[in-house]
Amino acid sequence: MTLAVFLGLYAFAGFRYEGFFSLRVFLGFLGDNAHLGVVAIGMTLVILSGGIDLSVGSTAGCSCIAAALLIEKSHLHPLLVVAMLIPAGVAFGFTQGYLISKFSLPPFLVTLAGLFFCRGLALLLSTESIPINHPFLDSIKQLRIPFGGGVYFPFQAILFVMLLVAAGIILKFTRFGRTVYAMGGSEQSAHLMGLQVARTRNLVYALSGICGVLSGLIFAITTASGNALNGQGLELDAIAAVVIGGTLLSGGYGSVWGTFLGLLIFATIQTGLMFDGTLSSWWSKIATGGLLLVFIVLQRVIQPRQSRS
């Protein structure tokens, strides 16, 4: 289904706009949207487990500005900064998961508060954009796979694909992954089966926190600057990608591969709009919202039929 929509859109854009079918454009899909893809992987885990995480966009903004400050103002090595920020993301995500499982608070409310907390923290750190200059970052940017003809597979896309494969394997082959599906399907049954529901949930949100931090670092490296406003609305795009990818919002059904296709659809729309040139930027918002709507309605139509049969 999702694959059909993607192929249809891709073919449509390809025939409509000259040069859309090139390898460069396709690799650009991944390179330009890696920050979104990374967040969408974490979001897939959260949604599969039956929750939602609205805080990832501002986690990205916060980690981006924090990275810039630590590198530029405190003169720390970027690797050390990464080593500091990832535990921070884990702690933040874990706290959210803990509040949700321990006190049975609604996930959207906790993570909405998380969204404001992180954005506020980011703006408190600095409201201005901070340029980052560090030789190490330049060498990271050189980490890319050449495809010939001046086309490269950039480092952020490599990171994204690695995370994608890792998430796919974890979900499919580990006890943790199976617990995620089980608790998304029915939390009560998962609990009665003796699965570690609370611990798994904390871990899921912690992983989503890491994804948020990584996304912020991708922002910091690709734009060579830190800005507290980066990643605004990223969580919505990520949810859209997950849902378009066929993952059920009620949890328990779906995969990261679907999310990957959802991301490609998202990227096709964005790139198509850019190729067109006559359409304004707000059309991408309307298209994303519209597509999101179509897919949730479709899910609703398909779902009862499946359960009946």
Partner 1 sequence: MKRLGPTSVPLIGLVALLLMNAALSPGFLAVTVRDGHLSGSIVDVFLRAVPVLLLSIGMTLVIATGGVDLSVGAVMAIAGAVAAGILVHPAGTPFANISGTPTMLAVLGIPIAVAATAGAFNGLLVAAGIQPIVATLALMVAGRGVAQLLTNGQIVTFTDERMSALGNGFWLGLPIPIWIAAACALAVFVLVRKSALGLFISATGASERASYLVGIPNKGIKVFAYLVCGLLAGVAGLIACSDIKGADSHNAGLYLELDAILATCLGGTSMTGGRFNLAGTIVGAILMQTLTTIILTRGVSLEATLITKAVLVIGVCLFQSPVFRAKLTREKSA
- If we measure between CA atoms, which residue out of 290, 302, 231 comes closest to residue 9? 290
Binding residues for partner 1 restricted to 265-284, rule: CB under 8 A: 280-284
Q: From the CA atom positions of the chain, what is the Rg in Å?
A: 19
Could you tell me the CA-to-CA distances from 77 to 35, 144, 214, 258 in Å, in that order? Answer: 22, 21, 16, 37
Residue at 189: amino acid letter = S
CB 56 within 8 A of CB 208: yes
CB 185 within 8 A of CB 101: no
- In whole angstroms, how close is the CB of 2 to partner 1 at the nearest point? 17
**Of these, 15, 116, 147, 173, which contacts partner 1 (CB under 8 A)?**
116
Using the rule CB under 8 A, is 7 a contact of partner 1? no
In this structure, how many other beta carbons lie within 10 angstroms of the beta carbon of residue 142? 8
Using the rule CB under 8 A, is 286 a contact of partner 1? yes
Residue at 76: amino acid letter = L
- By C-beta, is 14 or 57 nearer to partner 1? 57
Using the rule CB under 8 A, is 60 a contact of partner 1? no
**Of these, 9, 69, 123, 229, which contacts partner 1 (CB under 8 A)?**
123
Using the rule CB under 8 A, is 164 a contact of partner 1? no
**Of these, 4, 75, 103, 194, which contacts partner 1 (CB under 8 A)?**
103
**Of these, 102, 172, 175, 199, which contacts partner 1 (CB under 8 A)?**
102
**Of these, 119, 177, 213, 258, which contacts partner 1 (CB under 8 A)?**
119
**Residues whose CB is less than 8 angstroms from the CB of residue 141 and which lie 6 or more positions away in sequence, other chains included:** 154, 155, 221
The residue count for the chain: 309
Phi, psi of 277 (to 5 degrees): 80, -30
**Residues whose CB is less than 8 angstroms from the CB of residue 2 and which lie 6 or more positions away in sequence, other chains included:** 244, 245, 246, 258, 261, 262, 265
- If we measure between CA atoms, which residue out of 249, 238, 243, 234 comes closest to residue 292? 243
Asked whether the CA dihedral 29, 137, 91, 173 is positive or negative, the reply is positive
**Of these, 112, 137, 229, 274, which contacts partner 1 (CB under 8 A)?**
112
Binding residues for partner 1 restricted to 218-237, rule: CB under 8 A: 233, 236
Using the rule CB under 8 A, is 298 a contact of partner 1? no
How many of the chain's residues bind partner 1 (CB under 8 A)?
Answer: 44
Could you tell me the CA-to-CA distances from 19 to 3, 35, 278 in Å, in that order? Answer: 22, 25, 17
- By C-beta, is 135 or 304 nearer to partner 1? 304
**Of these, 56, 60, 110, 195, which contacts partner 1 (CB under 8 A)?**
110
Using the rule CB under 8 A, is 309 a contact of partner 1? no
Q: Is 186 exposed, middle or buried (0-12, 13-18, 19+ CB in 10 A)?
A: middle
What mask, x for binding partner 1 by CB under 8 A, covers residues 192 to 211?
A: --------------------
**Of these, 249, 257, 274, 275, which contacts partner 1 (CB under 8 A)?**
249
- By C-beta, is 31 or 235 nearer to partner 1? 235
Using the rule CB under 8 A, is 250 a contact of partner 1? yes
Using the rule CB under 8 A, is 302 a contact of partner 1? no
- In whole angstroms, how close is the CB of 105 to partner 1 at the nearest point? 5
Which spans of this chain sit near partner 1 (rule: CB under 8 A)? 52, 99, 102-106, 108-110, 112-117, 119-121, 123-124, 127, 233, 236, 239-240, 243, 249-250, 280-286, 288-290, 292-293, 296-297, 300
